[in-house]
Amino acid sequence: MIRKTVRRIMQEKVAPRAAEIDQKAELPMDVFDLFKANDIFSLVAAQEYGGFDGKLLTLCLAIEEISRVCASSSMVLGNQSLGSAPIALWGNEAQKAKYLPGIATSEIKASFALTEPNAGSDVGGMQTRAVFKDNRFVINGNKCFITHADIADILTVFAKVEVNGQDKITAFLVDGKAKGVTVGKKEDKMGLRGSSTCSISFEDVEVPESSIVGKIGDGYRIALDCLDKGRIMCGSQSVGLAQGALEAAASYAKTRVQFGKPISENQGIQFILADMATEIELARTMVRAAAWKYDNHEPDMMKFSAMSKLFATDMVMRATTNAVQILGGYGYCKDYPVERMMRDAKIFAIFEGSNQIQRLVIARSLLK
């Protein structure tokens, strides 16, 4: 039912605009409105906070359908989920009650601020600091590549707090409009151009102790827990995008005539399509298994999250590249969606922990 609804609204309302969203490189606020009107943001929260069923598997079905049509639009829902994950997973009752109902309608937009110019894969290298002073924490530092930082009402900012000479990574909830918060450069990206990615700085930003998520020093664990979830969503985005590319390529192959017959009648083309479909189905199965394990707190969830992300995100690059190949020169041009899809695909192997980092996570779980 959810899949059908999301598929229908994506097909009717977003598909005609997907190329324009990419071309304009602006956040599609009409997609926010569309998702809000159709209650799609409710998929990011648990029922008691105004959400639907609170299941990652359900959310992943929707994300897959969105990404099939427009990967930039999948960030609208995906980032609302990642942005709210620290609160949903580690927040106290007061924090959940304050933020989650608004997040489930998108009246509150949430972002996740972990990455820094000198700390990408190496989260522990972060330089943002929070110092306790006059009954408040004062945050100073710079984050980069933060999805939708330019519209965030609330950000989870990860910063180091010194306790007895030791640095403890800690998660703080920071109002996007707080004094000292400045949104900087918006990146001019290869793909996902309809999703904003910005640097954001914190200069003497004061927050109360009650803005800490979990406890001082829980930040690293919180970040990893959120990324376990984010990686599975990233897998769904990849499966959806690859499915969209497959459909575009198959449909083109049936109508493009060369040597007196549709190119789809060549076994060489059929085999490419067959391999694409097989890999997509395999990735879909892995991602859904990982989401199920996540929802059911299975002990090997982290490994499955990393494996499904690794396979699905490498797969989508192969699938979209093959789709461009099947469309030949037309595939290389913006008149057809596969050109955008191939550009959109690349990011999935980079963010939420690059695929090299996924291999480290998988290997660690095998060798511990």
Ligand X SMILES: Cc1cc2nc3c(=O)[nH]c(=O)nc-3n(C[C@H](O)[C@H](O)[C@H](O)COP(=O)(O)OP(=O)(O)OC[C@H]3O[C@@H](n4cnc5c(N)ncnc54)[C@H](O)[C@@H]3O)c2cc1C
Q: List interacting residues with ligand X (CB under 6 A).
A: 111-115, 120-121, 145-147, 189, 192, 197, 347, 350-351, 353-354, 356-357
Do 342 and 324 touch, CB atoms closer than 8 A?
yes
User: Given the complex with ligand X, which of 42 and 147 has the nearer CB atom?
Assistant: 147
**Residue 318: how many other CB atoms lie within 10 Å:** 16
Helices 219-255, 71-90: inter-axial angle, 10-degree rounding: 160
> Per the structure block, which two tokens stand in for 336?
């057809």
Q: Annotated catalytic sites, by residue? A: 352
**Could you tell me the smallest distance in angstroms from the CB atom of residue 352 to ligand X?**
6
Cβ proximity to ligand X, 51 vs 120, nearer residue = 120
Judged by CB, which is closer to ligand X: 282, or 350?
350
CA-to-CA distance for 283 and 316, rounded, in angstroms? 9
| Closer of 174 and 357 to ligand X (Cβ) | 357
Residues 6+ apart with CB under 8 A from 65: 3, 6, 7, 10, 240
- Nearest residue to ligand X by CB is 120
Q: Which is nearer to ligand X, 17 or 346 (CB)?
A: 346
Minimum distance, C-beta of residue 79 to ligand X, in the bound complex (Å): 6
Closest approach, Cβ 131 to ligand X, in A, equals 22
Among positive and negative, which fits the CA dihedral 28, 79, 158, 311? Answer: negative
Q: What is the 3-state composition of the chain as percent helix, strand, coil, each rounded to the nearest 5?
A: 60, 20, 20
Degrees (nearest 5) of the Cα angle 226, 106, 241? Answer: 60
Contacts of 231 (CB under 8 A, 6+ apart): 290, 305, 306, 308, 309, 352, 353, 358
CB of 55 to ligand X, least distance (A): 22
Rounded least distance, CB 31 to ligand X, Å: 17
